[in-house]
């Protein structure tokens, strides 16, 4: 099955433009990481500590009414989310609102008192202390760092250094791009988001390896061909496969985003962003970087 026929697109010819765009995205992502480290971003209770309670009411309850009820009981900072097409309400309270250990009971007591005619069931209740949240954040940063190191080692073993550098920078760009989007849109940074980031890092790497495999194969076959022709030809050869793979994965992520419910909405959104960015980076970042390094190596060898 092919959605597009044989193409002859100059993907790497305008690499300076793609490098500038990638640099701007990466800088925004670095700013986001700095803000996350300073706890200045929209951190979920996974990392900042707090309480999450999901209630299933017998009748619909508006967010505004629930917010007023909580505000009357010193919980005005609570974050409320409706679960679409249900009577469920997700309430998240940060670590500074009330003493840890009593928040979940306080929330249920508030709704029993303020909305006595609307019975509810506590579907889930999670409390994370500040020290656990801080440890989770440190462990997550270590896990992401180890993952990136593993990618470098794998690519260096599978290919040579120039391809390893290209793949590593492209994967790092994808991670920074996802962080940049979430930071700019003030979306919550939580463990589900980190899971999506690591998932996309693996997806992007796989896509890049497929392109690199074809480039390496064609470099051996076309020793006298200009490098830019070999790189462009290789990318065009695998483009139908890339389009099919990315489109089917994208459709699965879109389905999760539209029909997966409020709880995994941001996770699915991160996957959608990551799939688009990961597909583009394997073509417009990883391959052009490998081309630049290969060209410089050839120039040095010819001197």
pLDDT at 303: 66
pLDDT at 220: 86
Q: DSSP labels for 97-155? A: TS-TTSHHHHHHHHHHHH-TTS-EEEEEEEEE-HHHHHHHHHHHHHHHHHHHHHHHHHH
pLDDT at 158: 74
Report the distance separating Cα 167 and Cα 156, nearest Å.
10
The answer to whether residue 256 scores a pLDDT higher than 60 is yes
pLDDT at 168: 83
Report the distance separating Cα 57 and Cα 52, nearest Å.
16
Q: What is the pLDDT of residues 163-201, one digit of tens each?
A: 888 888 888 899 899 999 999 998 988 888 888 988 888
List, in order, residues 6 or more apart from 182 with CB less than 8 Å away: 32, 188, 189, 193, 266, 270
The answer to whether residue 272 scores a pLDDT higher than 80 is yes
pLDDT band of residue 251 (cuts 50, 70, 90) is: very high
pLDDT at 29: 93
List, in order, residues 6 or more apart from 51 with CB less than 8 Å away: 45, 92, 93, 100, 103, 104, 107, 125, 126, 127, 128
Q: What is the pLDDT of residues 87-127, one digit of tens each?
A: 888 888 876 555 555 788 888 888 888 888 888 888 888 77
Taking residues 218-242, report their average pLDDT.
88
Q: What is the pLDDT of residues 138-156, one digit of tens each?
A: 787 787 778 777 877 777 7
pLDDT at 216: 86
Taking residues 125-144, report their average pLDDT.
76
Kindly state the percentage of the chain with pLDDT values over 90. 20
pLDDT band of residue 134 (cuts 50, 70, 90) is: confident
pLDDT at 252: 93
Q: 286: which DSSP letter?
A: I
pLDDT band of residue 85 (cuts 50, 70, 90) is: confident
pLDDT at 273: 94
pLDDT at 2: 63
pLDDT band of residue 250 (cuts 50, 70, 90) is: very high
pLDDT at 45: 78
Taking residues 45-58, report their average pLDDT.
83
Mean residue pLDDT of the chain comes to: 84
């Amino acid at each position: 099955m092919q959605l597009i026929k044989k193409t002859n697109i100059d993907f790497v010819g305008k690499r300076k433009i793609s490098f500038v765009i990638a640099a701007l995205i990466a800088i925004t992502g670095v700013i986001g990481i700095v803000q996350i480290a300073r706890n200045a971003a929209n951190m979920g209770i996974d990392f900042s500590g707090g309480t999450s309670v999901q209630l299933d009411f017998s009748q619909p309850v508006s967010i505004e009414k629930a917010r007023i009820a909580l505000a009357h009981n010193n919980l005005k900072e609570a974050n409320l989310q409706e679960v679409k097409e249900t009577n469920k309400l997700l309430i998240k309270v940060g670590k500074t609102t009330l003493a840890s250990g009593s928040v979940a009971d306080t929330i249920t007591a508030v709704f029993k008192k303020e909305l006595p005619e609307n019975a509810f069931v506590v579907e889930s209740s999670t409390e994370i202390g500040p020290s656990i949240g801080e440890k989770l954040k440190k462990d997550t940063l270590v896990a992401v760092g180890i993952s990136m190191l593993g990618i470098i080692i794998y690519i260096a073993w599978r290919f040579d250094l120039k391809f390893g550098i290209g793949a590593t920078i492209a994967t790092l760009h994808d991670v920074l791009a996802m962080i940049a989007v979430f930071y700019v849109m003030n979306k919550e940074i939580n463990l589900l988001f980190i899971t999506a980031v690591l998932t996309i890092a693996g997806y992007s790497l796989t896509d890049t390896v497929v392109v690199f495999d074809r480039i390496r194969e064609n470099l051996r076959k076309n020793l006298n061909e200009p490098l830019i022709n070999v790189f462009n030809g290789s990318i065009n050869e695998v483009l139908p496969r890339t389009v099919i793979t990315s489109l089917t994965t994208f459709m699965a992520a879109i389905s999760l985003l539209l029909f997966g419910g409020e709880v995994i909405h941001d996770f699915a959104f991160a996957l959608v962003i990551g799939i688009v960015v990961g597909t583009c980076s394997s073509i417009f970042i990883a391959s052009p970087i490998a081309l630049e390094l290969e060209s410089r190596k050839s120039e040095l060898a010819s001197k």
